[in-house]
Structure 1
Amino acid sequence: MWFRNARVFRFTKPFEITAEALEEKLQEDAFKPCGPQETSRQGWVSPMGKHSDLLVHSAGGYHLIALRKEEKLLPASVIKELVDEKAEMIEAEQHRKVRRKEKDELKEEVTLEMLPRAFSKNRRCYAYLAPADGVLIVDAGSSKQAEDLASTLRKSLGSLPVRPPAVEQAPAFTFTGWLNESIDLPASIELGTECELKDTSEDGGVVRCKGLDLQGDEIRSHLDAGMQVTKLSVTWDDNLSFVLDEELGIRRLKFGDTLQEKLDDVDADDAAARFDAAFSLMTLELARLIPGLLEALGGEDRSAIVEEG
């Protein structure tokens, strides 16, 4: 149970929920497969798959959940071909032209005919709530996918006061400062060998670099030309490596050997125990990373957050 990405949402006011209360809320929106005439459906499933029927897996005050989305695959080219065939048959039999409105009706008819036989694509998106830490972490490669899960969770709970965290200075400004050495690189961060640079002009281009010394002459020439760093790969505390972007999205997250060795000490034959151990190790590590990373990026802007009191 290692997340491959981490999209962070900050609770804007104190938020508390028990595993039992969360389970009850999610059960009302548990996943049900698509009906014969439905193109998509989503709902909550057990994050432990076949190893548990519960929709919430909790450990150490962290609540893991999973959203499943089913989509029927109907290739547009196949639908168009069948619509064209039907239109040609009508034109040949009735000696008249099939207009656009009628073609749209034929398309709807063909789609309904094909849906019961269409293949399904299923996708799961995992997340965990950390009320004590004041964050929701979503394993999503894009901000849209993360927002979709947060929005669905908000509907299930009735309220979810979260937003992406804000920092005191633009992440791209900090990234650029680290590479041109105008801002000290924190001791906990080691630069990787990948970055993305953008020209700040209206029609500016993008340069993607891989396998380079990020503080070398080649990168420096782009920075001297006014480009800004919008993504870069880093290693955190010798234990986590990832690509960080200007939206504070963490992608291609890899956990170090130390955590893997701890997991290897768990009974390999007990899948549920290994799952629980991996989740606990991951959440503890991310609980260290998130505040440390926000501090390294200039400090978190908490002006819109209601503190306890």
Structure 2
Amino acid sequence: MWFKNLVLYRFSQDTDITAELLEEGLSHQPFRPCGKTELSSYGWISPVPGGDTLVHQSGSFLSLSAKKEERILPASVVKDAVNQKVEHIEAEQGRKVFKKEKDQIKDETTLDLLPRAFTRSNITRAYIDTRGGWLIVDASSFRKAEELTSTLRSSLGSLPVVPPALKQSPAATMTQWLEQHAATLPSSMTLGDECELKDLGEDGGTIRCKHHDVLADEIINHLNTGMQVSKLAIHWNEALSCIVGDDFLIRRVKFTDTLQEQSEALNAEDEASRYDADFTLMAGTLGEFLKELITVMGGEEEKEAAGWETKATVTVEEGVEEDAPF
């Protein structure tokens, strides 16, 4: 259950969400398999393997999970079936089938094929840090995270969250880190061996470096020409490594063996206990990491300065998809 990506949302007001209120809200939209004529289905499941509740609480952390099931019906299959029906009608009735009728045939064909289509499913995990004021979604794109937040907003009636508003753009901050040879980074944080640079010009290019010294002269020379860091690998406190993006989406989070061994040392007796140990350790670690990361990035805007509404909600632009190189 260790998260691999972090899409971050701030509560724009002190949250009074409790495990009981959250459980009640999620119970209105539990996951159910796709109906015979449905393309997809989305709902809440227990975050704990084999669990019977929709919320798992560990101190100030509330864990939840959403499941999506989709029917796999390739457009080419529908197109071929529609063409066969159109050809049959035109040959049998000696007339031309026009667009309006083709669209109707397509709808009928889709409904006919859906019950026979295979399904695939995936789970999106998230947790609420009621003390820290975070909603954190394990998703590699804003679009996937927004599926969960939209459903959560529907389940609860409102969800006053916004992306964290930093005083300085992540791209500018990370560029300064390299230009200053990491001099401003705390001792707990070191740079990794991956980065992505972008030219800010209209037709600007992108340079990606892997397994490379990010403080090498050739990297700094590109920054001197006006390029900015758009993704950067960092290591934190011998606990985790990750890629921080200029969109402040944190990708490819990897927790160290040392941290996971701490959880294993607790000798959990069953799967539910193992989940609780892993989740508690992970959420606590991420809380400390995010606090330090935001500090070293210059801090957050005050709520009033950022223009946050008490009941604000947000629709975030689509980010990098799951198959992105970073």
TM-score range, shorter chain: over 0.9
Counterpart mapping for 1:135-214 below 5 A: 135-181=134-180, 184-214=184-214
1:20 aligns with 2:20: yes
Distance in 1 (alpha carbons) for counterparts of 2:123 and 2:82:
33
1:124 aligns with 2:113: no
Please give the alpha-carbon distance, in whole angstroms, between the structure 1 residues aligned to 2:303 and 2:114. 49
Contact 1:14 1:134 in 2 (8 A): yes
Amino acid at match of 2:251: R
Encode CA deviations 1:232-276: one digit per residue, 9 max, x unaligned. Answer: 111011211000101111111111122111122133651111111
Counterpart mapping for 1:69-80 below 5 A? 69-80=68-79
Distance 2:18 2:169 in 1: 35
In the alignment, the residues of structure 1 paired with residue 202 and residue 286 of structure 2 have an alpha-carbon distance, to the nearest angstrom, of: 36
The match for 2:103 is 104
Q: What's 1:113 paired with?
A: 112
- Which residue pairs with 2:316 in the alignment? none
1:70 and 1:121 in contact (8 A); partners too: yes
Number of aligned residue pairs: 306
Aligned residues of 1:266 and 1:273 also touching (Cα < 8 A): no
Change beyond 3 A, Cα 1:306–1:14: farther
1:178 partner letter? W
Q: Is the 8 A contact 1:195 1:214 kept in 2?
A: yes
RMSD, matched Cα: 1.5
The structural deviation recorded for 1:230 is: 0.7
Match of 1:255 in 2: 255
Aligned residue number for residue 267 of structure 1: 267
Contact 2:197 2:229 in 1 (8 A): yes
**Percent of counterpart pairs with the same letter?**
50
Q: Determine the structure 1 residue equivalent to 2:321.
A: none
Partner Cα separation in structure 2 for residue 134 and residue 263 of structure 1: 25
Alignment gaps of 5+ in structure 1: none
- Contact kept in structure 2, 1:11 and 1:161, CA below 8 Å: yes
Instruction: Give the aligned partner of residue 92 of structure 1.
Output: 91
- Alpha carbons 2:12, 2:303 under 8 Å: kept: no
1:24-43 mapped onto 2 (5 Å cutoff): 24-43=24-43
Q: Is the 8 A contact 2:243 2:250 kept in 1?
A: yes
- Which residue type is aligned with residue 74 of structure 1? L
Structure 1 outlier segments of 4+, above 6 Å: none
